[in-house]
């Protein structure tokens, strides 16, 4: 085969054969297909799409480009969760130990933040001593000790995806739903989990802005997981406003610990418990209910074991930013709107996020929310607190928040429900 033949087939609206997909992914990973040729193919896929069989073949070809992890030696079922990312989305932190406390093992590979969306590894690295990079043997040791592990993916997992993702990022093809779905699912399937729950975010702070686009992505990913023999379910959840009251690495760790201690914001608790129940059901584990595990301290115990097993000190004082600026309510009434993207952009500009993968982050930077959408506020009361290590960052963060919040006489009827829809095959 040759690359031009494959490009023309998709350019002209045809379906790529299994053999063509296997060849082009293998050749591109090995350097036999040039970046400009794969760029042309990615654009053809963006414009003409792929059917279910093509996406499944594409995903499996990317999985075969590297190693596939195996947890069959464990004595309990495994379950994992993947979120498409949002603002204040710290759910993995309380969720992984919670599910472990209820009887399933959780081997979770997570990523770092980029742009206005936060990254799980950045949040956990704000804990003194905690390590994101573990060998497969170390992952196994942590799972056996704590019941859950959250760490970075190794270079051997779906290397074709890593190479293709970097190319898509600079060629205007990131938005292709077949390529998004196969990118996510190639890594999750290669991770070797027996069941998977997908949290697909919808709204201004999410990659998917509309329920229709999120539904298409979620359905495609559920089909990919099912076709690969992984019990997969998806929830569409709201990201038109921030999740919880903390946005920023150490701020979100502190809020996650509150949840594990039996407190925390109602929306974070609700989504954590809902996802935990979905993960346990998908894994076929029944017994302790997640709400009980939050109340009796067993989820907190699992958290402390997980953090300690990865070198972290669960009792260490979390980093705090050197400077703060407060925004107050402009009038009395109901907080009608608090735009997730505006808050996420402000946190990014304060230092909580990065523009490039190699950039550092400020662990203490971010935004604290003193009210959530639907809350009654009084004129002059604190609405948001901005945290940064450098005062020079505040002006640009304040610009991001212009028009991002609104106080009115009643709640906004257009706000999305926290859980919008559940999707299975």
Catalytic residue positions? 82, 161, 168, 183, 187
Backbone angles phi, psi at 357, to 5 degrees: -60, -25
Q: How far apart are CA 221 and CA 56, in angstroms?
A: 10
Strands 79-83 and 195-202 turn out to be parallel
Cα dihedral across residues 214, 217, 223, 227: positive or negative: negative
Q: In three state form, how does the secondary structure of 233-301 look? A: EEEEEECCCCCCCEECHHHHHHHHHHHHCCCCCHHHHHHHHHHHHHHHHHHCCCCCCHHHHHHCCHHHH
Q: What letter does residue 115 receive in the DSSP assignment?
A: T
Encoded tokens for 40: 């042309």
Q: In a 10 Å sphere around its CB, with 0-12 CB exposed, 13-18 middle and 19+ buried, how is residue 413 labelled?
A: exposed
User: Angle 193-197-199 (CA atoms, 0-180°, nearest 5)?
Assistant: 135
Q: How far apart are CA 157 and CA 182, in angstroms?
A: 14
Q: How far apart are CA 10 and CA 114, in angstroms?
A: 31
Q: How far apart are CA 406 and CA 339, in angstroms?
A: 9
């Amino acid at each position: 085969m040759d690359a031009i033949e494959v490009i023309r087939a998709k350019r002209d609206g045809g379906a790529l054969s299994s053999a063509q997909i296997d060849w082009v992914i293998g050749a591109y990973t090995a350097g036999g297909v040039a970046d400009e040729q794969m760029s042309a193919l990615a654009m053809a896929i963006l414009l003409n799409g792929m059917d279910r069989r093509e996406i499944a073949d594409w995903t499996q070809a990317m999985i075969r480009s590297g190693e596939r992890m195996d947890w069959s030696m464990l004595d309990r079922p495994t379950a994992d969760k993947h979120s498409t990312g949002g603002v204040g989305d710290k759910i993995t932190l309380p969720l992984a130990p919670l599910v472990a406390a209820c009887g399933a093992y959780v081997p979770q590979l997570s990523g770092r933040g980029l742009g206005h969306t936060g990254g799980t590894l950045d949040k956990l690295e704000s804990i003194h001593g905690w390590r994101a990079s573990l060998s497969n043997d170390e992952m196994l040791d942590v799972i056996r000790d704590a019941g859950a592990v959250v760490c970075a993916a190794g270079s051997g997992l779906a290397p074709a995806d890593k190479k293709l993702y970097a190319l898509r990022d600079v060629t205007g093809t990131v938005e292709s739903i077949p390529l998004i779905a196969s990118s996510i699912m190639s890594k999750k399937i290669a991770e070797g989990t027996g069941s998977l729950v997908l949290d697909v975010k919808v709204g201004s702070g999410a990659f998917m802005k509309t329920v229709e686009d999120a539904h298409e992505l979620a359905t495609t990913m559920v089909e990919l997981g099912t076709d690969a023999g992984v019990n997969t379910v998806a929830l569409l959840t709201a990201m038109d406003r921030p999740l919880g009251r903390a946005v920023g690495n150490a701020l979100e760790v502190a809020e996650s610990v509150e949840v594990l201690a039996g407190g925390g914001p109602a929306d974070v608790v609700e989504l954590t418990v809902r996802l935990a129940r979905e993960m346990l059901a998908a894994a076929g584990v029944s017994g302790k209910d997640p709400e009980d595990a939050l109340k009796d301290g067993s989820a907190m115990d699992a958290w402390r074991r997980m953090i300690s097993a990865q070198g972290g000190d669960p009792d260490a004082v979390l980093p705090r930013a050197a400077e703060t600026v407060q925004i107050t309510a402009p009038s009395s009434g109901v907080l009608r709107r608090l735009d997730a993207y505006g808050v996420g952009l402000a946190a990014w500009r304060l230092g909580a996020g990065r523009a490039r993968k190699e950039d550092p982050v400020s662990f203490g930077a971010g935004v604290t929310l003193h009210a959530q959408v639907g809350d009654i506020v009084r004129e002059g009361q604190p609405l948001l607190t901005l945290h940064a290590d450098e005062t020079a960052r505040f002006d640009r963060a304040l610009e991001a928040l212009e028009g991002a919040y609104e106080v009115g006489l009643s709640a906004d009827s257009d706000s999305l429900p926290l859980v919008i829809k559940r999707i299975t095959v």
